[in-house]
């Protein structure tokens, strides 16, 4: 690879790195990634997180110090924290800021939709080329584990039902098996113990039903759970959520149809419905956990709305 810092016009760049991502692999690999980044991009400032939630504060600090570009090194959870730091209640803190992503974490599902390479050197090439794509975000208002009402943004996907219980199990396991196997194992265990949830679901003004579900995915990106292709038609630039409703499948049906969840054919299953919309509301008398970009921050009730064309993310050229 030829070093060409002059190809990259951004001078005020900040890297926000989660050294604990990918079971600590990011911390071990960061010196090498930093060396590659300096050769490719020139000088930059970097921050390493030490605790959950700190990436949000560091992103706010970067904006306050007039950063032109913020590059996240970690998984979807870290990227979610950074994005929440770049946003406020009215929209982006700096509409012109560019967000880069060097994916290295348990899931890293959003990079699949954007075709961002997992190889750090290739991902840095994407950052250096400076091609930006204006994407939508989701904003949800939900109940946290202490019963308090919270608001946060998400870039990839929010789901409720089985997805939240899988997240809870993955996060409690310490992700010892790595991304793909951790999610597979947690999904299988959760499936055996899971009972369908009865949820009141509304999507815009064209869907309002009480449904019994295995899971509902409100998708900005196409994948979640370490590669599950749950929303094949989702486009993070179309101003719409793609809502996938997976009905109350029996355990044998789940195992029979499981390959379709990974090969993009999930919508062929008759118990699965797909909708699009800009606003989604869900409530239940049962305990229904949320999955928000691979994290488990709370439970229903939830109100979700699309924020169209709000974030400039560095991505490969179409």
**23 against 61, higher pLDDT:** 61
Of 10-14, 98-102, 160-164, highest mean pLDDT: 98-102
Average of per-residue pLDDT across 30-34: 97
For residue 163, pLDDT over 90 is answered with no
Average of per-residue pLDDT across 194-214: 95
**247 against 188, higher pLDDT:** 247
For residue 12, pLDDT over 70 is answered with yes
- Which residues sit opposite 71 in a β-bridge? 15, 100
% of the chain with per-residue pLDDT over 70: 92
State phi, psi for 309 to the nearest 5 degrees.
Answer: 50, 60
Nearest to residue 112, comparing CAs of 294, 269, 306? 294
State pLDDT tens for residues 72-91.
Answer: 999 999 999 999 999 999 89
Q: Could you give the angle at which helices 120-129 and 25-41 cross, rounded to 10 degrees?
A: 40
Beta strand pairing call for 98-103 and 69-74: parallel
pLDDT band at 25 (very low <50, low <70, confident <90, very high): very high
Rounded Cα distance, 94 and 180, in Å: 35
Q: Tally Cβ neighbours within 10 Å of residue 31.
A: 9
Rounded Cα distance, 20 and 43, in Å: 24
Rounded Cα distance, 242 and 264, in Å: 14
pLDDT band at 50 (very low <50, low <70, confident <90, very high): very high
pLDDT band at 177 (very low <50, low <70, confident <90, very high): low
> CA 141 from chain center: how many Å?
16
- The SS3 assignment for 295 reads strand
Task: Quote the pLDDT of residue 98.
Answer: 98
Q: Is the overall model pTM greater than 0.85, yes or no?
A: yes
Which burial class, exposed, middle or buried, applies to 115 when counting CB atoms under 10 A from its CB (0-12, 13-18, 19+)?
Answer: exposed
Nearest to residue 220, comparing CAs of 232, 235, 207? 235
Average of per-residue pLDDT across 6-17: 77
pLDDT band at 167 (very low <50, low <70, confident <90, very high): confident
For residue 168, pLDDT over 90 is answered with no
For residue 254, pLDDT over 50 is answered with yes
The reply to whether 5-130 and 138-308 are identical in fold is: no
Average of per-residue pLDDT across 308-312: 98
Q: Where are the alpha helices (DSSP H) in the chain?
A: 25-41, 54-64, 76-86, 110-114, 120-129, 162-173, 179-193, 251-257
pLDDT band at 4 (very low <50, low <70, confident <90, very high): very low
Would you state the CATH architecture of domain 5-130? 3-Layer(aba) Sandwich (3.40)
Q: Which two tokens stand for residue 195?
A: 């009972």
Please report which helix (H) or strand (E) contains residue 98, including its range: strand 98-103
Mean pLDDT of the chain: 91
Q: Which two tokens stand for residue 165?
A: 């219980």
Task: Quote the pLDDT of residue 2.
Answer: 35
For residue 41, pLDDT over 80 is answered with yes
Task: Quote the pLDDT of residue 190.
Answer: 75
CA angle (59 as vertex; 7, 293 as ends), nearest 5 = 100
**105 against 25, higher pLDDT:** 25
- The reply to whether CATH 1.10.3720.10 applies to domain 138-308 is no
Tell me the domain boundaries of the chain: 5-130, 138-308
For residue 169, pLDDT over 90 is answered with no
From residue 268, alpha-carbon distances to 162, 209, 262 in Å are 20, 21, 13
Average of per-residue pLDDT across 114-127: 97
Task: Quote the pLDDT of residue 187.
Answer: 73
State pLDDT tens for residues 131-147.
Answer: 999 999 999 999 999 99
For residue 68, pLDDT over 60 is answered with yes
From residue 182, alpha-carbon distances to 9, 169, 293 in Å are 40, 9, 16
> CA 301 from chain center: how many Å?
20
For residue 179, pLDDT over 60 is answered with no
Beta strand pairing call for 241-247 and 272-277: antiparallel
């Amino acid at each position: 690879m030829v070093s060409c810092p002059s190809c990259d016009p951004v001078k005020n760049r900040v890297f926000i790195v989660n050294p604990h991502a990918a079971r600590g692999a990011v911390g071990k690999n960061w010196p090498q990634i930093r060396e590659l980044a300096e050769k490719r991009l020139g000088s930059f400032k970097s921050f390493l997180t030490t605790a959950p939630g700190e990436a949000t504060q560091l992103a706010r600090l970067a904006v306050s110090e007039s950063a032109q570009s913020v590059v996240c090194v970690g998984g979807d959870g870290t990227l979610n924290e950074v994005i929440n730091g770049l946003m406020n209640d009215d929209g982006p803190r700096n509409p012109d800021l560019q967000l880069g992503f060097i994916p290295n974490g348990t899931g890293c599902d959003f990079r699949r939709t954007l075709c961002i390479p997992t190889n750090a050197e290739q991902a840095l090439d994407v950052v250096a080329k400076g091609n930006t794509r204006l994407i939508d975000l989701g904003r949800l208002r939900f109940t946290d584990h202490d019963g308090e009402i919270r608001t946060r943004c998400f870039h990839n996907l929010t789901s409720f039902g089985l997805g939240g219980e899988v997240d809870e199990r993955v996060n409690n396991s310490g992700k010892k098996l790595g991304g793909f196997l951790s999610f597979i194992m947690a999904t299988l265990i959760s499936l055996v113990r899971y009972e369908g949830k009865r949820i009141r679901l509304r999507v815009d003004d064209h869907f309002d039903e009480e449904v019994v579900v295995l899971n509902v995915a409100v998708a900005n990106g196409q994948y979640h759970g370490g590669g599950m292709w749950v929303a094949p038609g989702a486009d993070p630039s179309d101003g719409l959520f793609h809502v996938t409703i997976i009905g109350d499948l029996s355990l044998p049906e789940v195992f029979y149809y499981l390959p379709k969840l990974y090969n993009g054919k999930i919508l062929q299953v008759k118990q699965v419905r797909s909708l699009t919309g800009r606003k989604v509301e869900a409530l239940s008398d049962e305990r229904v956990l949320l999955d928000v970009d691979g994290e488990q921050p709370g439970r229903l009730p939830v109100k979700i709305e699309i924020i169209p064309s709000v974030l400039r993310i560095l991505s490969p050229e179409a």
